[in-house]
Amino acid sequence: METTNVKAYGTEAAQVPLKQLNIQRRSVTSHDVEIEILYCGICHSDLHTARNEWRNTIYPIVPGHEIVGKVTNVGNHVTKFKVGDLAAVGCMVDSCRECEYCKEGLEQFCEPGNTLTFNSPDEHLGGQTYGGYSESIVSDENFVLHIPENLDLAATAPLLCAGITTYSPLKHWQVGPGKKVGVVGLGGLGHMAIKIAKAMGAHVVVFTTSASKTEDAKRLGADEVVLSTDEEQMTKYAKSLHFILDCVSAQHNIDAYLNLLRVDGALVLVGAPMEPLPVTSFSLIMGRRSFSGSLIGGIAETQEMLDFCGKHNIVSDIELIGVKEINEAYERLLKGDVRYRFVIDMASLKNEK
């Protein structure tokens, strides 16, 4: 198979900083779209994977699954895109398309296993798939999304993971008018959850460990903000919420949040820390509460989310950085110091030698 050599940013081991690498991209096959990547968001999952925190990383790794850019080439059977179109790729680049979940549009739960944008076996070239910290990407057109023309392109990139990961559970658990919704952790996912839950019509209460983010939370649309390290403030919200979306990237106290749910309330985890999160039986039993999880969203739902964001003018609040600042951005993510998504301007990689 013909390939092209492209520049990327990644790492060959967990303990070393990311640096420039060269990778191969396949030439387009009949159903493929080739995209010049203009911007790529930095998700905390990139950091978990680059540092092998989930114990499944195969090196070298090139992270990045919040990809937006321009179509530069299409295969001869491609019907959904043409050269020059804006296009996006999120967390998946393929799936079996035949299992019950793929048929339902739940490719994220594909039975034989989907192909993630990075760190999945690459059926075309062997080795592993490489993500969006790179000049270009090639994907089957069925896993490429259309971007609403009215949205700022760089600030749209984070919708491809942070957007869909919060939109999908908010919709599944029927968040809307009359519902009091808690959002825990004001980072990339958390700030998108505020904007989307507000657009869905919910009353949003944000829980943050960072006093410095309380003003921002209100600007982002929160109706109320709670400093979660202050027990007195937490007690006031006991048994008051219908739904909580937990977007925290590290170990934290789940019971403290379960106790804020009303009867039949649900706490849904999207944050993915590696450490177990202990739950006390009575936190669940005493209010017929449920504790669940949610994983990104399917392809059709991702397009639906992008269209919803286009309609409501929702994008991410971003800090645009060059590739050389990726390692510093990772350190800031670890400290919760993000306002509210880092996005890499990929022109900075082009200009590297």
Residue 244, contacted partner among ligand NAP, Zn ion, none, CB below 5-8 A by kind: none
Phi, psi of 284 (to 5 degrees): -90, -50
Assess 189 for contact with ligand NAP (CB under 6 A).
Answer: yes
d(C-alpha 115, C-alpha 352), whole Å: 29
d(C-alpha 25, C-alpha 145), whole Å: 19
Assess 185 for contact with ligand NAP (CB under 6 A).
Answer: yes
Assess 296 for contact with ligand NAP (CB under 6 A).
Answer: yes
d(C-alpha 45, C-alpha 61), whole Å: 12
- Using CB under 6 A, which of 57, 129, 208, 283 touches ligand NAP? 208
- Using CB under 6 A, which of 83, 211, 238, 250 touches ligand NAP? 250
Assess 261 for contact with ligand NAP (CB under 6 A).
Answer: no
Shortest reach from residue 161's CB to Zn ion, in Å:
3
Tell me how many degrees the CA angle 163-165-171 measures, rounded to the nearest 5.
90
Q: Which amino acid is at 129?
A: T
Residue 272, contacted partner among Zn ion, ligand NAP, none, CB below 5-8 A by kind: ligand NAP
Assess 43 for contact with ligand NAP (CB under 6 A).
Answer: yes
- Using CB under 6 A, which of 10, 28, 45, 66 touches ligand NAP? 45
| Binding window for ligand NAP (CB under 6 A); candidates: 115-123, 136-144, 235-243, 288-296 | 288-296
Shortest reach from residue 351's CB to ligand NAP, in Å:
27
d(C-alpha 158, C-alpha 309), whole Å: 12
Three-state DSSP state, 325: helix
Cβ proximity to Zn ion: between 45 and 166 the closer is 45
- Using CB under 6 A, which of 7, 48, 124, 289 touches ligand NAP? 48
CA 45, 46, 47, 49 dihedral sign is: positive
Token pair recorded at residue 63:
């992270």
Type and span of the H or E element at 279: none
CA distances from 90 to 16, 141, 180, 214, 303 (A): 26, 12, 29, 30, 10
Cβ proximity to Zn ion: between 7 and 44 the closer is 44
Residue 110, contacted partner among Zn ion, ligand NAP, none, CB below 5-8 A by kind: Zn ion
Residue 96, contacted partner among ligand NAP, Zn ion, none, CB below 5-8 A by kind: Zn ion
Cβ atoms of 292 and 266 closer than 8 Å: yes
Shortest reach from residue 89's CB to Zn ion, in Å:
12
d(C-alpha 54, C-alpha 243), whole Å: 27
CA distances from 230 to 183, 209, 227 (A): 16, 9, 6
Q: Which residue is nearest to ligand NAP (CB)?
A: 187
Assess 245 for contact with ligand NAP (CB under 6 A).
Answer: no
Tell me how many degrees the CA angle 140-107-340 measures, rounded to the nearest 5.
85
CA distances from 8 to 137, 149, 184 (A): 10, 27, 33
* Residue with token string 């951005």: 329
- Using CB under 6 A, which of 71, 247, 268, 323 touches ligand NAP? 247
Assess 336 for contact with ligand NAP (CB under 6 A).
Answer: yes
- Using CB under 6 A, which of 137, 186, 204, 314 touches ligand NAP? 186
Ramachandran sector of residue 87 (left: φ over 0; alpha: ψ -120 to 50; beta: rest)? beta
Assess 226 for contact with ligand NAP (CB under 6 A).
Answer: no
Binding stretches for Zn ion (CB under 5 A): 43, 45, 95-96, 99, 102, 110, 161
| Binding footprint of ligand NAP on the chain (CB under 6 A) | 43-45, 48, 161-162, 165, 185-190, 208-210, 213, 247-250, 252, 270-273, 294-296, 333, 336, 338
